[in-house]
Structure 1
């Protein structure tokens, strides 16, 4: 899956190739030289466009876009000045003429990669700056500041090619007047790029990592390899639950499918690490490793059972159900529950790759748990949670005469606060990573049917729909 780091790395590689050619090759004619100068302007224009894209989330609530506003941070002033000066050099025509021709040279391919990176960032945000994806929600202003620093380094590298390009153009009999018009001495731009690249004081590495890891918003499901397919489906599920939490609607059926996936992911990951999740006793609350996976999986199982008591009015999300069905095929193939030994200690690349994929799925379930908790909280606030009074704990019913009558009649009632709080408490457990979770206290209320929980194969759970 293409990430922001992939696109910036591709642009840097093409810039390296283009600059290397200027130092080793001559132009065949003046026309060839002028074409490369045009391509050089194209990549500068892409730098300006990408600079504005990285500034956009931070400046979306500001009025105007000018370097003369008081109080702008130094990095933003340098970035705005760099973008404005580049546009004054190459022109502000949109689309830039280079975008209307195939990317057949290193400079044009670098420009294409930079523009693709700009589009990638844009797809993660609404026009008003609100995040559209969980990755965007985790990408703060400091991450974009780190991106501007990296872009400053890239711009400085590009601008260092101006002098070799001008010399090669003169050697190809391009007139000095034409060379000066298009390459007038860009030292002032190089100074701005250096100013931008040195404004990284206090930027922690995690800020840069958050931007570099920004992936495509649309997840193509690659089915040619089980480990790859697992990662793609978990990424798509993470996006689906983020959208679910951001939009109003009856999401109970989808939440139940999500809890089924949570059960399966943790069960098969525990089996890969040598545990017996279908028969193991409950580990201690502070368990680590496979024991922590079993505890987290049983928390997902408890949520599945409790959410099954509520009345649903809408079917589950289509892609979530598709992913549930696909995972019932993938997970047993990657890590059978019947395995008798740990595969995590094997040194062969295939086992290590499967382990990394399963561990990644477990980590993704923490984000999914957080989004699912937010969606459930919205349902609780809206008063949309209804269940049969006969499914309520006897302790709750016996203290309320009205609930006693509802229980006798089998009436649908609004979920009591104690039941909702118990589910909230269990969601608090599942959205922490097993390897980092502190010992968790049990939920304050448990509905009937929670004996010592054991895992079931995912196909058995989904078959009961």
Structure 2
């Protein structure tokens, strides 16, 4: 319990260092004091140094070597992720490596220190109750006073951070909060590298999709098309015939598992196609879809006569590794897509033509039956949403794991249409 508390404090120290202007970190250091430094920067340096004096300077911190199984550890994990995001925008010597970093000035990072000061103050306020709880469960006073010695001096520093005038400007804070993920340039000079870059960018786009407002159905449909293609060509690489093979049994392994997963993406594509879309797909997702339709047939033709995975040459191994990486990435993309679809369902934004609803569902509802006769667009019934969410569960695990795919409403489309 106390160790998890220290983990959050260590994450605060790490994030403090990251928010200090990178060039200044290199010039001044964390424990040095120089006349003329703004008060908030002096407080930030003192806060990081004070926390490290308590929790130690070991890197990685011991808490980073264990799963985040408690609320304290999960909080530390999320804060470290924020630090890593900012770090990707700067070189180790403090120079910006992205256009976003070049446009981010010290005021924006000072705004981050203001928010961090509020967070650190809230965390430090838990020390007394944590010490009392530890005493109640039998932890010795010596251990408590060693690891929770009274952190009021650090709380004072957080107040200096959270009340700094230089960080009170809302515009820099908005710019810092809007700092995006670093986009990896697409290397188009070699197909294997281009496949990896595009799958990486696709995963980033779908991660951001869950935080965006608006209609994402067109993007979700494009993603299902990519899922079909990636699994079909990977299955062909491993010797399967995805366009002509019968549906494998649930829990299939090897190349058949790839065919099964591709059919699951295919079922999702058909079901999502029934919904009304109000906005075009994400531009980079559509670009990646077009590019993958060119790359995948060149790397792993569907009409291959034998398994390319059995070849011993280095080129085949590189292609196989890239395709396997694409399959693993699609599990993350499936997870992000499921979250975006769930958000759409909760918002009531899913509209479907009543004529596309299953007959048994319409028969039991007179209002839907009338809407079906009129060809009206209605809010998607819960049964339809639940079926699609079940299908998403089938694509959120890696196909090497045994899965049971629930049959979607109606038969799956003919695989020759993919």
TM-score grouping bracket, smaller chain normalisation: 0.5 to 0.7
Deviations 1:294-344 (A, max 9, x none): 111111000000000000000111111111111111100000000121111
Task: Determine the C-alpha separation between the residues in 2 that align with 1:270 and 1:394.
Answer: 35
Secondary structure in structure 2 of the residue aligned to 1:298: helix
Indicate the residue corresponding to 1:114 in structure 2: 92
Task: Determine the C-alpha separation between the residues in 2 that align with 1:294 and 1:244.
Answer: 27
CA apart distance, 1:50: 9.6
Indicate the residue corresponding to 1:321 in structure 2: 286
CA apart distance, 1:73: 6.4
Q: TM-score, normalised by structure 2?
A: 0.61
Task: Determine the C-alpha separation between the residues in 2 that align with 1:247 and 1:49.
Answer: 38
Indicate the residue corresponding to 1:438 in structure 2: 402
Which among 262, 266, 272 is matched to residue 307 of structure 1? 272
Task: Determine the C-alpha separation between the residues in 2 that align with 1:297 and 1:272.
Answer: 14
Which among 226, 234, 256 is matched to residue 191 of structure 2? 226
Change (3 A) 1:74 1:425: farther
Task: Determine the C-alpha separation between the residues in 2 that align with 1:440 and 1:49.
Answer: 55
Q: Does 2:257 correspond to 1:278?
A: no
Secondary structure in structure 1 of the residue aligned to 2:415: coil
Indicate the residue corresponding to 1:105 in structure 2: none
Task: Determine the C-alpha separation between the residues in 2 that align with 1:431 and 1:47.
Answer: 46
Q: Does 2:313 correspond to 1:348?
A: yes
Q: Does 2:325 correspond to 1:397?
A: no
Indicate the residue corresponding to 2:171 in structure 1: none
Task: Determine the C-alpha separation between the residues in 2 that align with 1:401 and 1:72.
Answer: 66
Q: TM-score, normalised by structure 1?
A: 0.55
8 Å contact from structure 1 (residues 275, 342) kept in 2: yes
Indicate the residue corresponding to 1:264 in structure 2: 229
8 Å contact from structure 1 (residues 309, 388) kept in 2: yes
Task: Determine the C-alpha separation between the residues in 2 that align with 1:352 and 1:294.
Answer: 21
Which among 329, 332, 340 is matched to residue 367 of structure 1? 332
Task: Determine the C-alpha separation between the residues in 2 that align with 1:349 and 1:272.
Answer: 15
Secondary structure in structure 1 of the residue aligned to 2:92: helix
8 Å contact from structure 1 (residues 280, 454) kept in 2: no
Deviations 1:165-207 (A, max 9, x none): xxxxxxxxxxxxxxxxxxxxxxxxxxxxxxxxxxxxxxxxxxx
Task: Determine the C-alpha separation between the residues in 2 that align with 1:337 and 1:304.
Answer: 20
Change (3 A) 1:313 1:49: farther
Change (3 A) 1:384 1:234: same
Deviations 1:71-97 (A, max 9, x none): 9466755489xxxxxxxxxxxxxxxxx
Task: Determine the C-alpha separation between the residues in 1 that align with 2:221 and 2:299.
Answer: 23
Indicate the residue corresponding to 1:91 in structure 2: none
Q: Does 2:399 correspond to 1:426?
A: no
Task: Determine the C-alpha separation between the residues in 2 that align with 1:119 and 1:50.
Answer: 23
Change (3 A) 1:370 1:118: farther
Which among 26, 51, 70 is matched to residue 46 of structure 1? 26
Deviations 1:403-455 (A, max 9, x none): 010111111000001110111111111111111x3322415xx334x24x543
8 Å contact from structure 1 (residues 219, 236) kept in 2: yes
Change (3 A) 1:347 1:419: same
Name the stretch that deviates more: 70-79 or 264-273. Answer: 70-79
Indicate the residue corresponding to 1:65 in structure 2: 44
Secondary structure in structure 2 of the residue aligned to 1:218: coil
The structure having more radius of gyration, on CA atoms, is 1
Deviations 1:26-62 (A, max 9, x none): xxxxxxxxxxxxxxxx9995397699xxxxxxxxxxx
Indicate the residue corresponding to 2:353 in structure 1: 388
Alignment map for 1:196-215 (pairs within 5 Å): none
Which among 298, 322, 342 is matched to residue 357 of structure 1? 322
Query: How many pairs does the alignment contain?
Result: 283
8 Å contact from structure 1 (residues 253, 316) kept in 2: yes
Unaligned runs of at least 5 residues, structure 1: 1-41, 52-63, 81-111, 130-215
Secondary structure in structure 1 of the residue aligned to 2:263: helix
8 Å contact from structure 1 (residues 298, 454) kept in 2: no
Deviations 1:361-415 (A, max 9, x none): 1111111111111111111011000000010011111111100101111110000
Alignment map for 1:128-147 (pairs within 5 Å): none
Which among 404, 409, 412 is matched to residue 447 of structure 1? 409
Task: Determine the C-alpha separation between the residues in 1 that align with 2:286 and 2:361.
Answer: 34
Task: Determine the C-alpha separation between the residues in 2 that align with 1:362 and 1:295.
Answer: 13
Unaligned runs of at least 5 residues, structure 2: 1-21, 32-42, 60-89, 113-180
Alignment map for 1:451-462 (pairs within 5 Å): 451=412, 453-456=413-416, 461=418
